[in-house]
Amino acid sequence: MAIEKCINEFDVNDVIFEEGSTGRELFVVLEGQVEIAKVGSAGKTVIVTLGKGEFFGEMAVIDGSSRSATAIAAAPHTRVMRINHARFVYLVSQQPAFALMIMDALSKRLRASNAVNFKAAAAP
């Protein structure tokens, strides 16, 4: 498959995927910015804003579960590359540095999430 078929461009506020949807792809930001957010009746709560070289959607590609948040383009001409499950498995098996990069990011995101949850639980 030509790499151009794996690249999508989004404009500001375009939804890349929604929380609860299924997907067996992760995405790498090539240009622009992507907000990872919780969207509900009370509005949008941005969890993190990602930029060039950062990735998102890895949890669904790893375990096949539904998306835990919504990904929204936050800059004009935001370009992302999709990496499907088969490519992901190939990269992890053939490129140990890629696997370590994914694990490092997951670890940091989990630690940050735990810190936020701990602070919320400790607040009076």
Are 84 and 8 in contact by the 8 Å Cβ rule? The answer is no
Give the domain CATH number at 97. Answer: 2.60.120.10
Decide if pLDDT at 37 tops 80: yes
pTM for the full predicted model: 0.84
User: Residues 101-115: pLDDT tens digits?
Assistant: 989 988 987 888 787
pLDDT band at 123 (very low <50, low <70, confident <90, very high): low
User: Residues 56-73: pLDDT tens digits?
Assistant: 999 889 888 899 999 999
The range of the structural domain enclosing residue 115 comes to 3-122
User: Residues 1-26: pLDDT tens digits?
Assistant: 456 689 999 999 999 999 999 988 99
Domains in the chain, number: 1
Q: How many Cα atoms occupy the beta-carbon half-sphere of 111 within 13 Å?
A: 6
